[in-house]
A and B are shown apart, each in its own frame.
Chain A
């Protein structure tokens, strides 16, 4: 099993001996204009990131102007909507939970050089499995803690299975994980719709509002007056910490990285490569499933049609934005969650579509990636500085971010 990961071959970037890849080193003093200003490399990085952020803001502002909306009022509204009250802060956290869990799951697949586009479907399958368990147990006298534990475990299993399926298709069927994932996403959507409008439909007629809500004792306990569940938050933090440690401090994480960057060499080093590919999918699926399980047990208390709320795709964006570094993923996910929540009120207050947050989120990622390219060009470096999980960084399909309201 020594299949190479599909790599777009680009000239100076291809592995080609000691001649190509140039990793910049700290004290390098470029002769470019920027170099002469005497900025250190770290400061330059920050300057570029800040510049990217500003450019993204400008572009979004232009979009707003074209749409005939007052930009500053809109931004003010977003800030107010996100951090204006305890309620909104809690809502941001509620949105952060599934987003950060998915993002960390995706960091694992990215480490292995995989584009797990199927993460959306994995969230849905997690939600479906959790719903299934709760439906089976809600009429028995199983204690609530047991039912909830089983539901969340089942959610992880569901997400994991769905991800491994994409992995099996790749490892044994030769189906690129991007196509496999896309296909499985459609299947997952169809499955949850079928369940909502078919076998699990509400008494009377099925509706887009989802299945019949579970009795309140099967809800994960929430802070009083808020939609935030300490249990959901705790589970998310725990999962994120485990994955973060696994990626940075374990042989598992290191081997994943080796597989992701050079499958052939990893194999020769004695790493069972396809097992690691499957393991990466599995871990990401477990995380996505967990996110789906939390959405069902802690947020919606039922299965709704778009239960993933686009958090999977948003997680891909966050992972790209932080260039696959775990340390940055949590705060950036928080920022993105805040944008999501902050823009909820826009339609009501300013008659604007709440997808404005999506515009800003997408533009921001593009700007940061572009700024990275520009930085390298300005410093005269060949663009061979590898982005963390090499190939996924390049030639990636631009996907829309269907950002829907979290709540």
Chain B
């Protein structure tokens, strides 16, 4: 399906999220959409898919004017969107979620739906168990489900907003294969991402947005430096920072074992020193999150001991960890990390220790303005967190980490950040390290793990490898470790 957007405008208060964007995408194209955080990518995609109205502008599908007033209108017109975070119903089972979006779904017999779901899944090489609870699925699986549903609803234009954050490398490859297949079937794909290598590999064409405007279009093959220049208006230099590890040990795990309904992790013994950065690698769902949550005191280990600065913290509640300077930054920003409806100022006030019961709003705002500046957040102190762009929410989340902190536990800390902000945020984090803060972080980006980690531990089906030195490991070697080489799961 051909898509044409003409002169789209969208304002939020003083912010011009889209300032006259026009773009044509012909059927069968995988169109990349690039741009720094807050450039207006999600806004444009939401307008196209009916989640937000444009102030001005037109959308044409196959040359005909389309009136898209709601997501339902959009899907009827053949436009489906996969959001930055999956929008399914966590309490549902796979099959229910699938049925919900189906027009006239009530008249459909569950048996038939199940067969159709399985046929669809097989067609694309997914394995989705209809009775699984969605809450128990990984982000990647939830995304596959969402994708299937959109296709089943007859989407001819697929919009994917940062679909590769938080999914594993094999899941990404599956996704790319499907997108290519869909393009070959003359469907149109709009692909929003911050990962230049992915965009270069996948997309036929790329549009770059900056401050609400279309600043350039390129066709494959792409020149990375040129894309970066278009996005930021300058070159970005990425360098690996020096290690700041000290002698003293902050975190000690002795034979720690954790488990949830799906997975048993460990036993593992680890030490993390002050100023050190430890990366946790592994396919999504290999136990990284569980391990991180144990270190945060959010879960109790089933065996082993956990020490913080030499104090035995095993089975202590989260608040004792919190009081000892442990900060945990979850991956699900708006589900776990931030409070929708509250402003940035209110978040900052909540994240600080305070004396006395009364709030000094003026001081709070001033403090927030400083943090906004420090962390380069595009937003005002009184903005609610959900009005920020994805990348800016991530920065806000990191801006809330108490300072000083002894141990930072970060789940996908740069998820959704553009290249420039990733560099910037890590410089902030490394600054913490020079003050003696230890960092343990989970990431699915191998380059990030090796560039910013001092050591990297690999998890495979719940087994934890001895950490390898980041400086002595190549991306290829790490990739093999993640695939399970040299670390077969216990029988």
Chain A positions within 8 Å of B, measured between CB atoms, are 2, 9, 11-12, 14-23, 25-31, 249-252, 254-255, 257-258, 261-262, 264-272, 380-382, 386, 388, 390
Instruction: List 28 A-B residue pairs with CB atoms under 8 Å apart, sorted by A's residue number.
Output: A2-B298, A9-B90, A9-B91, A12-B51, A16-B86, A16-B334, A18-B84, A18-B333, A19-B51, A19-B84, A19-B85, A20-B83, A22-B386, A23-B386, A25-B387, A28-B13, A30-B55, A249-B359, A252-B357, A254-B346, A261-B339, A261-B341, A261-B342, A262-B339, A265-B335, A265-B339, A381-B53, A382-B70
For chain A, what secondary structure do more than half of its interface residues adopt (helix, strand, loop), or is it mixed? loop
Query: Once the chains bind, are A386 and B340 in contact (CB under 8 Å)?
Result: yes
Does residue B328 face the partner (Cβ distance < 8 Å to A)?
yes
| In the bound complex, CA of A155 to CA of B91 (Å) | 42
| In the bound complex, CA of A269 to CA of B12 (Å) | 29
- Distance of B44 from chain A, by nearest CB (Å): 12
Does residue B351 face the partner (Cβ distance < 8 Å to A)?
yes
Query: Once the chains bind, are B90 and A29 in contact (CB under 8 Å)?
Result: no
- Chain A residues with Cβ under 8 A from B318's Cβ? 267-268
Does residue B89 face the partner (Cβ distance < 8 Å to A)?
yes
Q: In chain B, what residue has the closest Cβ to A35?
A: B55
Does residue B465 face the partner (Cβ distance < 8 Å to A)?
no
Does residue B294 face the partner (Cβ distance < 8 Å to A)?
no
Please pick, from A251, A258, A267, A381, the residue contacting B354 in the complex, using a CB distance under 8 A. A251
Please pick, from A17, A30, A252, A390, the residue contacting B390 in the complex, using a CB distance under 8 A. A17
- Chain A residues with Cβ under 8 A from B384's Cβ? 21, 23
| In the bound complex, CA of A2 to CA of B335 (Å) | 12
| In the bound complex, CA of A251 to CA of B389 (Å) | 27
Q: In chain B, what residue has the closest Cβ to A29?
A: B55
Q: In chain B, what residue has the closest Cβ to A272?
A: B319
Query: Once the chains bind, are A22 and B52 in contact (CB under 8 Å)?
Result: yes
- Chain A residues with Cβ under 8 A from B85's Cβ? 16-19
Does residue B93 face the partner (Cβ distance < 8 Å to A)?
no
- Distance of B19 from chain A, by nearest CB (Å): 14
Query: Once the chains bind, are B336 and A264 in contact (CB under 8 Å)?
Result: yes
Q: In chain A, what residue has the closest Cβ to B90?
A: A9
Query: Once the chains bind, are B357 and A251 in contact (CB under 8 Å)?
Result: yes
- Chain B residues with Cβ under 8 A from A266's Cβ? 339, 350
Please pick, from B335, B387, B393, the residue contacting A23 in the complex, using a CB distance under 8 A. B387
Query: Once the chains bind, are B359 and A250 in contact (CB under 8 Å)?
Result: yes
- Chain B residues with Cβ under 8 A from A23's Cβ? 384, 386-387
Q: How many A-B Cβ pairs are below 8 Å?
A: 152
Query: Once the chains bind, are A380 and B53 in contact (CB under 8 Å)?
Result: yes
Please pick, from B14, B54, B337, B346, the residue contacting A257 in the complex, using a CB distance under 8 A. B346
Query: Once the chains bind, are A20 and B319 in contact (CB under 8 Å)?
Result: no
- Chain B residues with Cβ under 8 A from A21's Cβ? 334, 340-341, 384, 386-387
- Chain B residues with Cβ under 8 A from A264's Cβ? 335-336
| In the bound complex, CA of A32 to CA of B447 (Å) | 48
Q: In chain B, what residue has the closest Cβ to A9?
A: B89
Query: Once the chains bind, are A19 and B83 in contact (CB under 8 Å)?
Result: yes
- Distance of A232 from chain B, by nearest CB (Å): 27
With contacts A16-B86, A28-B13, A264-B335 taken as known, whether A254 is within 8 angstroms of B393 at the C-beta atoms is no
| In the bound complex, CA of A16 to CA of B12 (Å) | 20
- Chain B residues with Cβ under 8 A from A15's Cβ? 334-335, 340, 386
| In the bound complex, CA of A392 to CA of B374 (Å) | 36
Query: Once the chains bind, are B83 and A268 in contact (CB under 8 Å)?
Result: no
Q: Looking at A18, A23, A381, which has the most chain B CB atoms within 10 Å of its CB? A: A18
Q: In chain A, what residue has the closest Cβ to B392?
A: A18
Q: In chain B, what residue has the closest Cβ to A266?
A: B339
Q: Please provide the chain B residues from 66 to 123 with a CB less than 8 Å away from any CB of chain A in the complex.
A: 69-71, 83-87, 89-91
Does residue B406 face the partner (Cβ distance < 8 Å to A)?
no
| In the bound complex, CA of A61 to CA of B418 (Å) | 60
Q: In chain B, what residue has the closest Cβ to A248?
A: B359
- Distance of A354 from chain B, by nearest CB (Å): 39
| In the bound complex, CA of A29 to CA of B55 (Å) | 7
Extra contacts, 11 of them, besides A20-B83, A254-B349 (Cβ < 8 A), are A15-B386, A19-B84, A21-B386, A28-B12, A255-B350, A261-B342, A262-B335, A269-B350, A269-B351, A380-B53, A386-B340
The digit string for B2-14, where 1 denotes a CB below 8 A from any CB of A, is 0000000001111
Does residue B370 face the partner (Cβ distance < 8 Å to A)?
no
| In the bound complex, CA of A194 to CA of B161 (Å) | 63
- Chain B residues with Cβ under 8 A from A381's Cβ? 53
| In the bound complex, CA of A257 to CA of B164 (Å) | 33
- Chain A residues with Cβ under 8 A from B71's Cβ? 11-12
Query: Once the chains bind, are A18 and B340 in contact (CB under 8 Å)?
Result: no
- Chain B residues with Cβ under 8 A from A267's Cβ? 318
- Distance of A378 from chain B, by nearest CB (Å): 11
- Distance of A246 from chain B, by nearest CB (Å): 8
Please pick, from A18, A257, A269, A390, the residue contacting B389 in the complex, using a CB distance under 8 A. A18
- Chain A residues with Cβ under 8 A from B334's Cβ? 15-18, 21
With contacts A9-B91, A17-B83 taken as known, whether A262 is within 8 angstroms of B12 at the C-beta atoms is no
